[in-house]
């Protein structure tokens, strides 16, 4: 098992290229199941979650090839010969549930295991299922599997209003509705850039969709979709993560390909804390505006609010900010598991339910710490950039699910960081 070792105290200077979005790519890949013709994704990240989705699609009969050092995914689903997504693959990643809508839409039946995923609280799939039922799906849950079929062999247009905003459920319903007979209206949908990206890809494949980026999607079902080539949108979570690095360690970093529109609420919060964010054709350049960072309150919310996937990294930055900050986690319960590990490094954090109070300290101290999930792992690496001495982050296999080349990217701007093999 690998660990990442960080020697703190180095100011950062230079540029970091930002990859295509993991969450977008995982949503786009199942779209290949909707057509017999090829779907090609460019700007695709090389991550373990992408490999897991590749294995899942291949198990269903799809052909998936990685080209150009992983930056291009070439897919074809001309011969879907299996309609059961097995537990052994699905349990590894929650996004696996996104094959349900496309298989049901294309062939009128599917059996998909209930998914697993990282341990950040309950993340039920009931909204996925209710939205599909509104499109005419008949569902039966047996022995941990969703057995789904479309009445009459084809989904039908319908209307569904999500009781709460759900990114994954919006994606599954949209993937299903594009081949449903008639018009579907989805209300209170997610508005994330990944949803917009999916709609643009499906439209390139011949789908009729209106309203992406708003609270209502209107989809006029078509009989078939054709092939397309589509670039994966920039990863706004990787972007925000590396924007915090110079604010924690000092220095100035340009994030290549970054756009403020992907993270407006996040930019406003870090600017309130003392960051300077400059947008140019090259991307976003970030540095401390004047002196040390200051405390700021944060409340996570669905897009366009502050992303829950940047809460852990923001907490790492606030550990050495002047004053006391309050972070309210409104999306997932049990998402402060990084707090005890940051406390091991000298942070002052008090957690009560979904609220964490962070009182800034003069400096953090390097320590052995353990990653508990994907975003927690990178928050500990960021904290290590500001800590005195050595920080060793173990269980970094979580990191490989969502960040490619972390060591290369941070060392390229001056961080002292390396990945090491642990003694067995």
193-208 burial string, b = 16+ CB within 10 Å, else e? bbbbbbbbbbbbbbbe
**Distance between CA atoms of 148 and 17, rounded to whole angstroms?**
42
Q: Where are the beta strands (DSSP E) in 136-232?
A: 137-142, 145-150, 159-161, 183-187, 208-210, 216-220, 228-231
Residue 194, H or E segment: helix 193-204
End-to-end CA distance of the chain: give it in Å, rounded: 8
> Rounded CA gap, 116 and 389, in Å?
37
d(CA 263, CA 181): 36
Of the candidates 118, 201, 267, 319, the residue annotated as catalytic is 118
Residue with tokens 């319903």: 173
Q: Does 100 count as an annotated binding residue? A: no
The verdict on whether 201 is a catalytic residue reads no
Calculate the CA 129 to chain-centre distance.
21
Q: How many helical (H) and strand (E) elements, i.e. helices and strands, does the chain have?
A: 13, 26
123 is in an annotated binding site: yes
Nearest to 107 by CA among 64, 49, 160, 62: 62
Residue 219 marked ligand-binding: no
22 annotated as a binding-site residue: yes
Cis before residue 304, ω within 30 degrees of 0? Answer: yes
In order, the DSSP letters of 251-271 are EEEEEET--GGGSHHHHHHHH
Q: Is 127 annotated as a binding residue?
A: yes
Contact at 8 Å (CB) between 270 and 284? Answer: no
Residue reference for tokens 């997504």? 85
Q: Are 419 and 3 in contact (CB under 8 A)?
A: yes
Distance CA 272, CA 37 (A): 48
Residue 23 among known ligand-binding residues: yes
**Alpha-helix runs per DSSP H in 205-281:** 236-249, 264-272
134: nearest Cα among 75, 90, 166, 174: 174
392 is in an annotated binding site: no
Q: Which helix (H) or strand (E) holds 2?
A: strand 2-7
Judge whether 304 is annotated as a binding position: no
- List the binding residues for phosphoenolpyruvate: 22-23
| Residues assigned a catalytic role | 118
- List the binding residues: 22-23, 94, 123-127, 309, 331
């Amino acid at each position: 098992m690998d660990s990442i070792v960080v020697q703190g105290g180095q100011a950062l200077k230079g540029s970091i290229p930002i990859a295509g979005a993991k969450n977008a790519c995982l949503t786009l890949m199942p779209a290949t199941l909707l057509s017999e013709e090829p779907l090609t994704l460019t700007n695709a990240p090389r991550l373990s979650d992408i490999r897991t989705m590749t294995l899942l699609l291949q198990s269903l009969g799809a052909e998936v090839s990685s080209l150009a050092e992983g930056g291009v995914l070439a897919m074809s689903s001309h011969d879907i010969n299996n309609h059961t997504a097995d537990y052994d693959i699905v349990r590894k990643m929650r996004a696996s549930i996104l094959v349900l809508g496309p298989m049901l839409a294309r062939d009128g039946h599917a059996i998909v295991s209930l998914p697993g995923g990282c341990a950040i609280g309950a993340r039920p799939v009931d909204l996925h299922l209710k939205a599909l039922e509104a499109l005419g799906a008949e569902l039966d849950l047996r022995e941990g599997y969703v057995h789904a079929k479309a009445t009459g062999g084809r989904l039908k247009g319908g209307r569904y209003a999500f009781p709460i905003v759900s990114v994954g459920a919006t994606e599954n319903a949209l993937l299903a509705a594009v081949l449903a007979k008639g018009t579907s209206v989805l209300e209170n949908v997610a508005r994330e850039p990944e949803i917009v990206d999916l709609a643009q890809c499906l439209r390139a494949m011949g789908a009729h969709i209106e309203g992406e980026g708003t609270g209502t999607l209107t989809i006029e079902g078509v009989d078939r979709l054709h092939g397309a080539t589509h670039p994966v949108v920039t990863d706004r979570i990787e972007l925000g993560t590396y924007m915090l690095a110079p604010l924690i360690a000092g220095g100035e970093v340009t994030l290549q390909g970054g756009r403020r529109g992907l993270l407006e609420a996040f930019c406003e919060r870090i600017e309130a804390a003392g960051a300077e964010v400059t947008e140019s054709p090259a991307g976003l350049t970030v540095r401390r505006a004047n002196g040390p960072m200051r405390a700021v309150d944060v409340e996570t919310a669905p897009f366009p609010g502050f992303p829950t996937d940047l809460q852990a990294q923001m907490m790492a930055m606030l550990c050495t900010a002047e004053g006391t900050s309050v972070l309210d986690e409104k999306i997932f319960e049990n998402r402060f598991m990084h707090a005890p590990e940051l406390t091991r490094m000298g942070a002052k954090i008090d957690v009560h339910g979904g609220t964490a109070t962070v009182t800034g300290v003069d400096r953090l101290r390097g320590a052995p710490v353990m990653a508990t999930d994907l975003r927690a792992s990178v928050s500990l690496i960021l904290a290590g950039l500001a800590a005195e001495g050595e920080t060793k982050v173990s269980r970094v296999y979580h990191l490989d699910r969502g960040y490619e080349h972390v060591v290369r990217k941070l060392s390229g701007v001056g961080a002292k960081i390396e990945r090491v093999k642990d003694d067995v």
